């Protein structure tokens, strides 16, 4: 794209600056191509730690960094802040809300958003966790709930403010539940005068028969035991049938709760639907073995947006898979640009892990199955290691150490102002907890 | 308030958990009273550093801490999150949007908000800086402007994106201008491919004849010289007559600018207007010498909400003045509770200072007038010292040290998504910078 002159260099456009997209850009660093990354956010996000922003352990900037800064040194890469709405395959253009960008090769790495299984009306009551804005909204709801309980005089309504339901017991749900239990049992313990935060109920609801359904059964059992020990109520085999301002229904059973957090379904970026190719049930693109779009070898689809099966098992929607695919797409584009045939992608499973509160967790790495403190330590090291490139690894380590030693949460801020704390949902006449009003 | 039993203890209600309000609460720590702090935010804010959040040097949680946590150890204090809308003086009740709280003594420390001198329509185009939400909005606009300039092909429109106008050259305006100059000249220097961030124009507009009009003239001259050295265009004696989506007008002169930041007027919280007492021009309560409300010795008004003159000079709206008043109100309430007469307030001026970018600033402390690096160091030490109680003094120091050494800004995040970057305000057909579209 060479700034002021027409250029014959191969133009690669990457949509999405997540784990997959950035790996593609890096893989092309020394190739004779010009790369344009387009994202509608200016930052790359270390998604596996987003729940720590939601639970006030970390600041947004500790797990996010400007894409522009990450790629500062890569001379053949430029970054555009923009919102991609479609692709014109005939004329090889990416269509933005406010412009268009031409490509020779296109890599789609737009990821997923949360999905409410056809119940979009639940979104209002049960926010999901994909962006920093989402995390700050969850944080706001969690801490507002304790504030409202402190002021609420009616026992039933107070209990509803002190009940937290997390829907979905995958890694995010399990990690959220553990962190919430820690907040209620330890962090806030001495901060209130009219409520005991330790009496808060944290309920983890999962439709499958066990928590962490993607992991081995033995680790699910251990994870559940660790959650219960932290005081989390675990309800497996429980399909949520309704969510509204009063709480969550599981069939006939209703849980009165003012705070519901969504950690269940995801579906692919709507961009997949604009391509005119077959999608899987979650809306992801069924890609060729070399990660190209069926019928168009100029377009690669990677990461959570791609559906691909290997040895009869789907490649999971996790960061390591996205990174491997990103790198592979970059190398395939370089091959294609040199007139060589692209090669099929092979996924190398590096294992999975989840953390459950302080010094507890489960990990499944190759043949190794860990649980408890060792799994937690393992999780910690891997996550700090991959924060490379965020430059604030040291600050994050420091915060974790402090948080671990003091149970303190540095980022307990509710941003924005509070209008009516107690008037919704029933417009009840609020009273002072001591009946003074 | 004693939780479950009727209590005859004197009830003190403090509205506002800023510098003034917190000092009142602390002054009453050992008094036989029950204190309730009401704030519509859950955090106390270290306002003097808010511009560093706006310019991405610090994270919100590094300059804010939950009021609840600050007062955790004070057994006779409780904290309510709530929005105060008025006072019923006859029945001694504070009226909230969603309830009411009885008092024996009331301390109003609700502070100020920004004021557009009767031009509320400017608020949309020129956000002010009073809350964390304000600071994040300013940050968003600053970094979006560079992103939009990178994508904008039209030279005139690009220049408008690269022009930043700061209205008001008090300490906040001067500090903002210096920080913005540093961002443009150093932080972003290598991050773009189509624009040179160093070409950004930063224009500081002030109606008075000199910058920092509240400080001695000699220091104003030095501050101006330091700003000019940083590349800031300083326009004094310049009254803004209009602000809209195209920029700022100063009489006949129009500056095309897409980013305008407001650091000019403030006016008292609307709460002052509900009290039925005389206010000064800025809407502040003209208090008695002992800080009580005229005609009501049960109500104290302190901090930026109070207008009080000593030795012919108004007590300035700065943190040290608010803290002295807060402490004084607390002691007067203790005296009144013991049947003693309240005493008049005496302000002790500890001096003023402002920082201007890296290693530059001005300070006026007692007989001492400093400028340049020494003033900056002085500013740094004082501000770090007063971050005591935020517990993250060490993290802030670390961030400052890193930022100083690397010119890096840790918190360059634009939160939320971007829809149309280039379509407003003229719905122009956007193009790629290289004319590719």
Chain B touched by A395 (CB under 8 Å): yes
- Measured between its terminal Cα atoms, the distance across chain B in Å is 68
Phi/psi at A175 (nearest 5 deg)? -65, -40
**Minimal Cα–Cα distance from B287 to chain A, Å?**
28
Q: Give start and end residues of each alpha helix (H) in A126-275.
A: 132-151, 155-161, 171-182, 217-229
Segment (H or E) for B426: none
Does B82 contact A418 at a Cβ distance shorter than 8 Å? yes
pLDDT value, residue B64: 86
Name, of A352-356, A367-371, B150-154, the range with top average pLDDT: B150-154
User: Residue A165 pLDDT > 60, yes or no?
Assistant: yes
Using the structure block, give the residue that is written with the tokens 């660093």. A29
pLDDT value, residue A426: 40
pLDDT value, residue A420: 63
Q: How confident is the model at residue A389 (pLDDT cuts 50, 70, 90)?
A: low
Neighbours of B9 (CB within 10 A): 14
For residue A120, the SS3 value is helix
CB nearest to B395's CB, from A101, A132, A395: A395
CB nearest to A410's CB, from B132, B392, B434: B392
User: Residue B343 pLDDT > 90, yes or no?
Assistant: yes
Q: What is the pLDDT of residues A19-43, one digit of tens each?
A: 999 999 999 999 999 999 999 999 9
User: Residue B436 pLDDT > 80, yes or no?
Assistant: no
Contacts of B100 in chain A (CB under 8 A): 437
Q: What is the pLDDT of residues A274-321, one digit of tens each?
A: 999 999 999 999 999 999 999 999 999 999 999 999 988 899 988 889
How distant, in Å, are the alpha carbons of A430, B46, B82 from that of A157?
Answer: 10, 34, 17
Report how far residue A180's alpha carbon sits from residue A160's, in angstroms, rounded to the nearest whole number: 16
Q: What is the pLDDT of residues B214-261, one digit of tens each?
A: 888 999 999 999 999 999 999 999 999 999 999 999 999 999 999 999
Is-contact B407 B183, C-beta < 8 A?
no
Residue B122 token pair: 């400017």
Q: What is the pLDDT of residues B10-56, one digit of tens each?
A: 999 999 999 999 999 999 999 999 999 999 999 999 888 899 899 98
pLDDT value, residue B151: 93
Does A151 contact B59 at a Cβ distance shorter than 8 Å? no
Mean pLDDT, all residues of chain B: 88
How distant, in Å, are the alpha carbons of A89, A383, B228, B275 from that of A276?
Answer: 10, 37, 57, 65
User: Residue B388 pLDDT > 60, yes or no?
Assistant: no
- Which residues fall within 8 angstroms of residue B411, CB to CB, at 6 or more apart? A59, A60, A61, B53, B56, B57, B58, B59, B139
DSSP A336: H
Q: How confident is the model at residue A157 (pLDDT cuts 50, 70, 90)?
A: very high
Does B1 contact A102 at a Cβ distance shorter than 8 Å? no
Report how far residue A88's alpha carbon sits from residue A108's, in angstroms, rounded to the nearest whole number: 13
Is-contact A248 A256, C-beta < 8 A?
no
User: Residue B196 pLDDT > 50, yes or no?
Assistant: yes
Average pLDDT over residues B328-346: 97
How distant, in Å, are the alpha carbons of A2, A281, A349, B54, B269 from that of A305?
Answer: 30, 12, 18, 35, 50
Average pLDDT over residues A134-150: 94
How distant, in Å, are the alpha carbons of A48, A120, B244, B254, B257 from that of B160?
Answer: 39, 40, 13, 12, 4
Is-contact B262 B141, C-beta < 8 A?
no
Share of chain A above pLDDT 90, in %: 66
Does B420 contact A391 at a Cβ distance shorter than 8 Å? no
pLDDT value, residue B2: 41
Residue B73 token pair: 């150890």
Residue B199 token pair: 């070409």
Catalytic residue (choose from B23, B175, B182, B334): B175
Contacts of B99 in chain A (CB under 8 A): 151, 422, 430-432, 437
- Chain-centroid distance of CA B423 in Å reads 32
CB nearest to B421's CB, from A82, A416, A420: A82
Catalytic residue (choose from A62, A137, A150, A175): A175
- Which residues fall within 8 angstroms of residue B86, CB to CB, at 6 or more apart? B94, B95, B271, B274
Greater confidence (A416 vs A205) lies with A205
Greater confidence (B277 vs B414) lies with B277
Q: What is the pLDDT of residues B256-285, one digit of tens each?
A: 999 999 999 888 999 999 999 999 999 999
Average pLDDT over residues A157-168: 97
Contacts of B79 in chain A (CB under 8 A): 150
Nearest 5°: CA angle at B61, between A147 and A382? 105
Q: Give start and end residues of each alpha helix (H) in A351-427.
A: 373-386, 393-406
Strands (E), B296-423: 296-301, 306-307, 309-310, 313-314, 352-355, 361-365, 368-371
Chain A touched by B414 (CB under 8 Å): yes
pLDDT value, residue A37: 98
For residue A99, the SS3 value is strand
**Minimal Cα–Cα distance from B27 to chain A, Å?**
20
Closest among B11, B326, B48 to A436, alpha carbons compared: B11
Using the structure block, give the residue that is written with the tokens 């803004």. B240
Greater confidence (B313 vs B357) lies with B313
Report how far residue B220's alpha carbon sits from residue B209's, in angstroms, rounded to the nearest whole number: 10
Q: What is the pLDDT of residues A40-70, one digit of tens each?
A: 999 999 888 899 899 988 888 878 888 998 8
Contacts of A79 in chain B (CB under 8 A): 150
Contacts of A13 in chain B (CB under 8 A): none
Does B83 contact A436 at a Cβ distance shorter than 8 Å? no
Q: What is the ipTM of this complex?
A: 0.85
Nearest 5°: CA angle at A163, between A157 and A164? 140
- Which residues fall within 8 angstroms of residue B24, CB to CB, at 6 or more apart? B12, B14, B35, B107, B109, B300, B302, B326, B327, B329, B330, B333
Average pLDDT over residues B348-371: 82
A259-262 sheet: strands from edge to edge: A232-235, A201-205, A163-167, A259-262
For residue B361, the SS3 value is strand
Q: In the annotation, is B426 catalytic? A: no
Chain A touched by B432 (CB under 8 Å): yes
CB nearest to B413's CB, from A61, A98, A398: A61
CB nearest to B437's CB, from A79, A99, A395: A99
Q: Omega of the bond prior to A182 within 30 degrees of 0, cis?
A: no
Long-range contacts of B390-397 (CB under 8 A, 24+ apart): B390/B46, B390/B62, B390/B63, B390/B64, B390/B65, B391/A408, B391/A410, B391/B65, B392/A410, B392/B61, B392/B62, B395/A395, B395/A398, B395/A399, B395/A410, B395/B62, B396/B58, B396/B62, B396/B63
pLDDT value, residue B65: 84
Phi/psi at A399 (nearest 5 deg)? -65, -40
Q: What is the pLDDT of residues B161-188, one digit of tens each?
A: 999 999 999 999 999 999 999 999 988 9
Chain A touched by B395 (CB under 8 Å): yes
Of chain B residues 79-138, which have a CB less than 8 A from chain A?
A: 79-83, 93, 97-102, 131-133, 136
Using the structure block, give the residue that is written with the tokens 């920093």. A132
User: Which of A316-320, A321-325, B199-203 is predicted least confidently?
Assistant: A316-320
Residue A186 token pair: 């330890």
Closest among B132, B200, B195 to B164, alpha carbons compared: B200
Does B421 contact A147 at a Cβ distance shorter than 8 Å? no
User: Which of A13-22, A29-38, A404-413, B83-92 is predicted least confidently?
Assistant: A404-413
Does A395 contact B398 at a Cβ distance shorter than 8 Å? yes
Does A411 contact B60 at a Cβ distance shorter than 8 Å? yes
pLDDT value, residue B265: 82
Q: How confident is the model at residue A404 (pLDDT cuts 50, 70, 90)?
A: low
CB nearest to B1's CB, from A398, A413, A434: A434
pLDDT value, residue A200: 97
Q: What is the pLDDT of residues B101-127, one digit of tens each?
A: 999 999 999 999 888 988 999 999 999
Does A413 contact B60 at a Cβ distance shorter than 8 Å? yes
User: Which of A9-13, A348-352, A354-358 is predicted least confidently?
Assistant: A354-358
Is-contact A405 B34, C-beta < 8 A?
no
- Measured between its terminal Cα atoms, the distance across chain A in Å is 68
Q: Which residues pair with A247 in a beta bridge?
A: A244, A256
Average pLDDT over residues B72-90: 95
pLDDT value, residue A138: 94
pLDDT value, residue A412: 75
Share of chain A above pLDDT 70, in %: 88
Greater confidence (A105 vs A410) lies with A105
Mean pLDDT, all residues of chain A: 88
pLDDT value, residue A430: 34
pLDDT value, residue B428: 34
Average pLDDT over residues B140-163: 95
- What secondary structure does DSSP assign to A221-263, as a single string? HHHHHHHHHTTEEEE-S----EEETTEEEETTEEEE-SEEEE-
Question: Among A6, A110, A145, A418, which would you mutate to test the B interface (most chain B Cβ atoms within 10 Å of its Cβ)?
Answer: A418
Closest among A176, A182, A198 to A54, alpha carbons compared: A176
CB nearest to B133's CB, from A60, A416, A419: A416
Phi/psi at B84 (nearest 5 deg)? -80, 130
Contacts of A437 in chain B (CB under 8 A): 93, 99-102
Greater confidence (A61 vs B420) lies with A61
Q: What is the pLDDT of residues A416-435, one digit of tens each?
A: 556 666 654 443 333 333 33
Average pLDDT over residues B146-161: 95
Residue A87 token pair: 């692709």
Question: Among A196, A410, A425, which would you mutate to test the B interface (most chain B Cβ atoms within 10 Å of its Cβ)?
Answer: A410
pLDDT value, residue A249: 98
Contacts of A144 in chain B (CB under 8 A): 81
For residue B84, the SS3 value is strand
Chain B touched by A44 (CB under 8 Å): no
């Amino acid at each position: 794209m060479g700034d002021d002159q027409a250029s014959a260099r191969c133009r690669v456009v990457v949509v999405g600056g997540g784990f997959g997209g950035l790996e593609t850009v890096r893989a092309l660093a020394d190739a004779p191509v010009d790369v344009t990354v387009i994202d509608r956010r200016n930052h790359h996000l270390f998604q596996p730690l987003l729940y720590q922003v939601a639970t006030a352990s970390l600041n947004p900037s500790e797990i996010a960094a400007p894409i522009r800064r990450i790629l500062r040194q890569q001379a053949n890469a430029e970054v555009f802040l923009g919102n991609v709405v479609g692709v014109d395959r005939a004329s090889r253009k990416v269509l933005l809300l406010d412009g268009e960008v031409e490509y020779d090769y296109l890599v789609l790495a737009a990821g997923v958003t949360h999905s409410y299984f056809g119940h979009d009306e639940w979104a209002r009551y049960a926010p999901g966790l994909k962006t920093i804005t989402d995390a700050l909204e969850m944080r706001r709801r969690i801490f507002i709930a304790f504030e409202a309980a402190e002021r609420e005089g009616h026992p039933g309504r107070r209990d509803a403010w002190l009940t937290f339901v997390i829907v979905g017991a995958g890694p995010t749900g399990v990690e959220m539940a553990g962190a919430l239990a820690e907040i209620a049992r330890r962090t806030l313990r001495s901060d209130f005068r009219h409520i005991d935060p330790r009496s808060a109920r944290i309920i983890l609801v999962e439709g499958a028969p066990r928590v962490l359904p993607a992991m081995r059964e033995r680790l699910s059992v251990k994870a559940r035991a660790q959650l219960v020990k932290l005081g989390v109520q675990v309800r497996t085999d429980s399909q949520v049938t309704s969510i509204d301002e009063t709480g969550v229904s599981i069939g006939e059973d209703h849980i009165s709760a003012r705070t519901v957090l969504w950690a269940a379904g995801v579906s692919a970026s709507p961009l997949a639907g604009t391509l005119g190719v077959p999608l899987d049930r979650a809306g992801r693109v069924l890609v060729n073995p070399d990660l190209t779009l069926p019928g168009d070898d100029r377009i690669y689809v990677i990461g959570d947006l791609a559906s691909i099966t290997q040895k009869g098992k789907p490649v999971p929607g996790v960061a390591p898979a996205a990174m491997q695919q990103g790198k592979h797409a970059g190398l395939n584009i370089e091959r294609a640009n040199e007139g060589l045939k692209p090669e099929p992608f092979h996924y190398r499973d590096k294992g999975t892990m989840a953390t459950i509160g302080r010094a507890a967790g489960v990990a499944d790495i190759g043949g190794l199955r860990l649980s408890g403190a060792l799994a937690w330590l393992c999780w910690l090291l891997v996550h700090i290691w991959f924060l490379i490139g965020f430059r604030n690894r040291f600050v994050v380590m420091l915060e974790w150490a402090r948080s671990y030693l003091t149970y303190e949460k540095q980022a307990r801020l509710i941003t924005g102002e509070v209008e009516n704390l107690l008037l919704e949902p029933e417009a009840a006449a609020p009273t002072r907890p001591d009946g003074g009003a």
